[in-house]
Chain A
């Protein structure tokens, strides 16, 4: 079946611009996670949803980062006033239920110039 999909796969933006990254979880999955992965490192947690409720946003670096999942399916991670340090691979994962296995998408490579 279809896995987790993310769009765009690559995004180049200028410093100061806003970007929106989209995640389509596996159909029917309750939980959705956002992670950020720097080159050569493991994914680092950003935020987590059960259905449409944001359960934990403790990993968001600052208030320029926000996420939503308004209908409990697709999620958007928004970064306002991007900075060069925001450049990274942003990964989304979904799981059937809270606490069950997480399946990762291919990621969005964000480059801020």
Chain B
């Protein structure tokens, strides 16, 4: 079955620096890759996602890149701020829409990002 590996498990950066989190997936059929931010005591919050027909997507200070050949994708956060501190999860899924198949997300193990003021 699908397996998603995520690195690093912890990341500490200075405010204003960039942070990069990397994930690899095993199932070449995977075609949807969301990133979630989870703050203490809260549920995962979707921050950005990318589909396999796109190589890069940006939303203000965050961006995600996808390399289908190498089966890895990365989250980039620029100009980090203390409020970016949280656990970040990558996930992968094989989206088939309706028709009885699952569209479940397979999650990585998470990265604890600490932004030092």
User: Which residue numbers of A lie inside 8 Å of B, CB to CB?
Assistant: 4, 31, 33, 35, 40-45, 48, 50, 55-56, 58-59, 91, 95, 97-99, 101-107
Tell whether, in the assembled complex, residue A101 and residue B100 are in contact, meaning their CB atoms are under 8 Å apart: no
> In the complex, how many angstroms separate the beta carbon of B30 from the nearest chain A beta carbon?
12
Chain A proximity mask over B91-117: 1 for CB below 8 Å, otherwise 0: 101011110111111111110000000
Contacts of A33 in B (CB 8 A): 104-105
**In the complex, number of A-B residue pairs with CB atoms less than 8 Å apart:** 67
Tell whether, in the assembled complex, residue A103 and residue B46 are in contact, meaning their CB atoms are under 8 Å apart: yes
> In the complex, how many angstroms separate the beta carbon of A45 from the nearest chain B beta carbon?
4
Tell whether, in the assembled complex, residue B104 and residue A48 are in contact, meaning their CB atoms are under 8 Å apart: yes
Residue of chain B at shortest CB distance from A107: B43
Tell whether, in the assembled complex, residue B101 and residue A55 are in contact, meaning their CB atoms are under 8 Å apart: yes
Contacts of B101 in A (CB 8 A): 55-56
- Please count how many residues in chain B sit with their CB below 8 Å of the partner chain's CB atoms: 27
Is the CB of B42 closer than 8 A to any CB of chain A? yes
Tell whether, in the assembled complex, residue B32 and residue A99 are in contact, meaning their CB atoms are under 8 Å apart: yes
C-alpha spacing A62/B80, complex, angstroms: 43
Tell whether, in the assembled complex, residue B110 and residue A101 are in contact, meaning their CB atoms are under 8 Å apart: no
Tell whether, in the assembled complex, residue A45 and residue B43 are in contact, meaning their CB atoms are under 8 Å apart: no
C-alpha spacing A31/B106, complex, angstroms: 16
Is the CB of B82 closer than 8 A to any CB of chain A? no
Tell whether, in the assembled complex, residue B97 and residue A106 are in contact, meaning their CB atoms are under 8 Å apart: no
Tell whether, in the assembled complex, residue B95 and residue A99 are in contact, meaning their CB atoms are under 8 Å apart: yes
Which of B46, B93, B98, B108 has a CB less than 8 Å from the CB of A42? Answer: B108
Contacts of B96 in A (CB 8 A): 98-99
- With contact pairs A104-B43, A106-B42, A106-B43 given, residues A98 and B103 touching in the complex (Cβ less than 8 Å): yes
Contacts of B32 in A (CB 8 A): 99
Contacts of B91 in A (CB 8 A): 42
